[in-house]
Amino acid sequence: MAEMFSKTEKRVHKAGQTGLASLALLSVLSGCVSAPVHRGPALLTAQAPAPSRAVPAVVAPTRPAIGRPPAGLENLIQDQWRVFPGRTGVAIMRVDGGEWVLGRRMDELFPQQSVSKTWVALTVLDMVDQGKLRLDQKVRITRDDLAVFHQPIRDQVIANGSIEVSILDLLETSIRASDNTANDSLLRTVGGPQAVTSFIARKNLGAIRFGPGERALQSSIAGLDWKQEYSIGRRFYAARDAVPLATRKAALDRYLNDPIDGASPQAIVRALARLAKGELLSASSTRIMLDIMSRTSSGPNRLKAGVPSGWSFLHKTGTGQILPPFSTGYNDIGIMTAPDGTRYAIAVMMGSTTASIPQRMTFMQFVSRTVASYHQN
C-alpha cells in the first residue's frame, strides 16, 4: 500500500459517517459518460450538484431465483458504475444459498496494492498448515528490512536497531494495520514472491498476480530504482519529487496498463468465497485469517461504512500512488455476512480515478449498502 490514508481521508474518518453521502454530491464528477442517468436510488449523477440530503434507501425486490442475482441489484450497480470517473472494477458474489456473481470489468486486471497482502498472509498460513512454519516463530527485522510508505513497525526497528516479532504478530500488523515492513518480512520468511505465486497457482485462484514486494514495486511505479535509504523519514517522497514528471507519468502508465500485481475482481471474490468456506486453509488457519481481517483498521469509510447494523464485515484495503489529477489503486475487498449467516464477497478496484476521496468512499458504500438491501434469506 502506498499511502494508507491521505490527509483528506483522515479528516473524513474523524468526521465520521454523518453527511458523508452529501459531501460526495457537492461537486460534479469529472469524466462521466454521456449516457442518460437513471433516477431513483442512484447515488452519483452527472447533473448539477444536489442539495445536501440523505441518500434514498434502496427497496429490496422480490426473491430472485436460486443461483441468479436480482436484476434490480445489477441495474443499480451498472447505473452508478457508468457515471463514476475513471477505470473501476466491481465484483459481487453470493457465497451461500445459491451462488451467483455479478459486476463490471470483472475479468480485467487491476492494481492490487495492499490487497495483495491477503495472498502473502494466506501463503504463510498454508505453510503453517504444512508444518513448515509456526505461528510463534520469531522473525528478525533490521533497518535493512524496512520498506516504504505505511510501516508503523519502523519506529521500533529504528529505536532498537533490530527487533524480533512472531509470525502471528506480523500477520496481525500486516493485515490489520497494512504495515509494509511487516508484509515484506513475511514475504521474505515464506521464500519470496515466487512462494506466493506458487500458492496462487496451486490453489487455482485464477487471474491474480503477485508483485516483487513493496520496495521494488513502489519505486518502479515512481520511476525510481530502490535504495534502502528511502525507507527512512520522507526520503522516498523527496526522491520521487525529483523525478521528471514525464518519467513518472511513463512509469505509472506502464504499471496501470499491465500491473505486475494485477488481479481481476472476479478472481478476488471467488478466492474470498473459498477462504470463507474453508477451502484454502485448515479450519484453525481459516479462523485466524478471518478474525484478523475482521479487525482491519484501514478504510473504515470505504465498503465497511455501507454495511448495515446487524451485519458483520471483514476486509482488506489497498491504496496506490497519486500523480495529479489521478489517484491509483484505491481498493477494498471483503466479506459481508447477513444476520441469517448468508455471506457475500465484494471487490471494488479503482485502477485510476479523478474522483475525490469522499466520492470514492461514497461509491464503495453504495455497493455494500445496495447488496445488503437486495439480500433475501
pLDDT digits (tens, 9 = 90+) for 143-191: 999 999 999 999 999 999 999 999 999 999 999 999 999 999 999 999 9
- Any alpha helices (H) in the chain, and if so which ranges? 7-15, 20-24, 71-83, 117-129, 154-160, 167-176, 180-190, 193-202, 214-221, 235-241, 245-257, 265-276, 283-294, 357-373
Domains annotated on the chain, with CATH:
7-115+255-373 (3.40.710.10)
Exposed, middle or buried, 258 (CB in 10 Å: 0-12/13-18/19+)? exposed
In this predicted structure, the answer to whether residue 54 has a pLDDT above a threshold of 50 is: no
- Residue showing cell 463514476: 84
Rounded mean pLDDT of the chain? 87
Q: What's the average model confidence in pLDDT over 340-354?
A: 98
2 confidence band (pLDDT: 50, 70, 90): low
Answer for the pair 136, 351: CB distance below 8 angstroms, yes or no.
no
Residue 18 is predicted with a pLDDT of: 39
Q: Give percent of the chain with pLDDT exceeding 70.
A: 82
